[in-house]
C-alpha cells in the first residue's frame, strides 16, 4: 500500500461550479523525493477572487494552465508508475481536497485510481494523541506556503514524524 499525501488549491468551495487551480502529491516515504505537480485551466466561469488569491495566481494565469483532462491523465499515469497496486489518499483536509480530486478523476477520466475513500491527517493525529484539541501542524518542517507540493510535503513530514517519533503503527515506504 502506498500513502499519497495530496494538497489542492481551488478558486472556490466546490468542484464543478468552481475549479481546482493546482494540486500537489507526495509519496509518503523517507526522503519525500517523489512528487507530482499539476496546474489546471478553469472549468467554470465562476471564481472567487479571495480563494484564487490564496493559490497565488491571477485568473489570467490560470487560463493558460493545462487542460484538466491532460493533467488528470498525467497524474493517473504517475500514480501507476510510482505506487503499489493499492494507493491511499491522505491529506490535511480531506473533506476539501478529496472532493476535488475525486470529482476531477471521475469527470475527466471516468475512474478514480484511489478508489472510494480517503484519510484525514488531522483526525489521525488527534486519535494518536487521544486529544481532539491537538493539531499536527507543528510537526511540519517544510513551510506551509499554499504551493501544493510544499504543503503536501510538510504534511508528509508530519506523518513520518508520527510514525518514527510517536509510534504510529503504519506501513509506509
* Cα 155 to Cα 24, 119, 124, 160, distances in angstroms: 11, 13, 12, 9
b/e burial code for range 111-126 (CB count within 10 A of at least 16 → b): ebbbeeebebbbebbb
Q: Cα–Cα distance between 112 and 31 in angstroms, integer?
A: 27
**Any idea which residues carry the catalytic annotation?**
146
DSSP conformational letter for 136: S
How far apart are the C-alpha atoms of 100 and 48, rounded to whole Å? 16
Q: What residues contact residue 110 under an 8 Å CB cut-off, 6+ apart?
A: none
Element (H, E) at 90: strand 87-91
CA 118 → CA 15, 56, 96, 137, 155, distances in Å?
17, 27, 11, 19, 15
Amino acid at each position: 500500500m502506498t500513502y499519497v499525501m495530496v494538497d489542492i488549491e481551488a478558486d472556490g468551495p466546490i468542484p464543478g461550479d468552481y475549479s481546482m487551480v493546482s494540486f500537489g502529491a507526495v509519496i509518503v516515504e523517507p526522503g519525500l523525493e517523489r512528487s507530482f505537480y499539476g496546474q489546471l485551466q478553469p472549468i467554470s466561469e465562476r471564481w472567487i477572487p479571495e480563494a484564487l488569491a490564496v493559490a497565488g495566481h491571477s485568473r489570467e494565469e490560470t487560463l493558460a494552465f493545462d487542460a484538466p483532462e491532460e493533467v488528470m491523465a498525467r497524474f493517473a499515469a504517475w500514480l501507476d508508475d510510482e505506487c503499489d497496486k493499492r494507493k491511499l489518499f491522505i491529506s490535511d483536509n480531506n473533506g476539501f481536497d478529496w472532493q476535488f480530486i475525486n470529482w476531477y478523476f471521475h469527470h475527466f477520466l471516468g475512474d478514480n485510481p484511489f478508489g472510494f475513500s480517503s484519510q484525514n491527517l488531522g483526525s489521525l493525529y488527534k486519535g494518536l494523541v487521544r486529544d481532539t484539541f491537538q493539531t499536527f501542524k507543528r510537526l511540519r518542517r517544510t513551510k506551509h506556503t499554499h504551493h501544493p507540493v510544499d504543503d503536501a510535503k510538510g504534511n508528509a513530514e508530519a506523518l513520518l514524524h508520527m510514525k518514527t517519533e510517536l509510534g504510529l503503527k503504519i506501513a509506509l515506504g
